[in-house]
Amino acid sequence: MKHENLILLILTLIIVIAPMVIYSGLGEDQGYFGGADDAGSDAVSETGYKPWFESFWEPPSGEIESLLFAVQAAIGAIIIGYAVGYWKGQKKVE
């Protein structure tokens, strides 16, 4: 089971790292690694549509946005880590 998860993790890393190797040296300025969600919004804007509602609040900079994304991931990771650690301990006591 331990080995299986390690192999799965390595496969996941390969999938994520491969694009950065394939397009190595290319970046946002060349039109790479932009978000698909933004591309979807752009395609809507191209039809001449103007959004009728704005977000109540937007992160004031990219730094703050990455802070909040990190907070989101951290909240999830803490909960998963806590539960799995608890279960592991529980299993040991049994």
Minimum CB–partner distance for residue 29 and another protein (Å): 13
- DSSP, collapsed to helix, strand or coil, labels residue 68 as helix
DSSP 14: H
Is residue 93 a contact residue for another protein (CB under 8 A)?
no
Looking at residues 3 to 42 of the shown chain, list those that interact with another protein (rule: CB under 8 A). 4-5, 8-9, 11-12, 15-16, 18-20, 22-23, 26, 31-37, 39-41
C-alpha to C-alpha distance for 7 and 25, rounded to whole angstroms: 28
C-alpha to C-alpha distance for 20 and 32, rounded to whole angstroms: 10
Q: Exposed, middle or buried, 11 (CB in 10 Å: 0-12/13-18/19+)?
A: exposed
Binding pattern for the stretch 50-89 against another protein, x by CB under 8 A and - elsewhere = -xxxxxxxxx-----x--xxx-xx-xxxxxx--xx-xxx-
- Cβ(55)–Cβ(61) under 8 Å? no
- Which residues are near another protein by CB under 8 A? 1-2, 4-5, 8-9, 11-12, 15-16, 18-20, 22-23, 26, 31-37, 39-41, 43-44, 47, 49, 51-59, 65, 68-70, 72-73, 75-80, 83-84, 86-88, 90-91
